[in-house]
Amino acid sequence: MKIFGPAIFAAMLTCISPAGAETPHAGEEVQQEAGIVPRYLLMDYRGRAVTNEDFPGSFQLISFGYTFCPDVCPTTLSKMSLIMEKLGKQADRLQPLFITVDPERDTPEVLHRYIAFFNPRIIGLTGSPELVRRAADNFKVKYEKYLEPGAAPNRYAVDHSVGMYLLGPDGRFLARFAYGMPFGEMAERIRALMEEYREEPAK
């Protein structure tokens, strides 16, 4: 698979996909935000269990996708990298995460090699199909396999919701950013949320 750098993908604002694949679920953002439960239990490239509680004191920027994705996911990962650069020193407080929706093909090793092309600080997470589905459901992310007629069984695409999710240092859901939002605008919104953020007092 040919991988391009962040500068190229920063200019990509639209998705060119095969029919039925990588289609952004438009018009869902407002309805989705109300029901998001920011929880996951998955696995990193070392085979270690990772949960939403493993980054105390850090904001989490989360996206869902898969390594065989032709365009949307590389664009998203490039945006993540550019956001980190734009935030400068404040990026030290942000942990970017990429959760696969294709656990059958995206092993920990595959994810790690793929993400290394974009930014070494991004952590790729995978897991059993059941745990991946549970994480996606918690974030109101929809996904399903799409196989072109006549294609080999392992040559499928995955149609999935797109966007990024920001969690606060205490794990609270703060914002969902639409796929088409420019990375500069997204970085400034994240910066503002970081500066305004206050943890809820213990009950």
Amino acid at 146: Y
Q: How far apart are CA 66 and CA 49, in angstroms?
A: 19
Q: Is the model's pLDDT at 156 over the cut of 50?
A: yes
Per-residue pLDDT reduced to its tens digit, 22-40: 434 433 334 347 689 999 9
Residue-averaged pLDDT of the chain:
84
Per-residue pLDDT reduced to its tens digit, 85-131: 999 999 999 999 999 999 999 999 999 999 999 999 999 999 999 99
Q: How far apart are CA 177 and CA 193, in angstroms?
A: 13
Q: What average pLDDT does range 14-25 have in this prediction?
A: 36
| pLDDT value at residue 16 | 30
Q: Does domain 6-196 have CATH number 3.40.30.10?
A: yes
**Which residue(s) pair with 52 in the sheet?**
none
| pLDDT value at residue 34 | 67
Query: How much of the chain exceeds pLDDT 90, in percent?
Result: 73
Contact 111, 126 (CB under 8 A): yes
| pLDDT value at residue 139 | 97
For the chain, what are the domain ranges?
6-196
Contact 126, 107 (CB under 8 A): yes
Higher pLDDT, 151 or 135: 135
| pLDDT value at residue 150 | 86
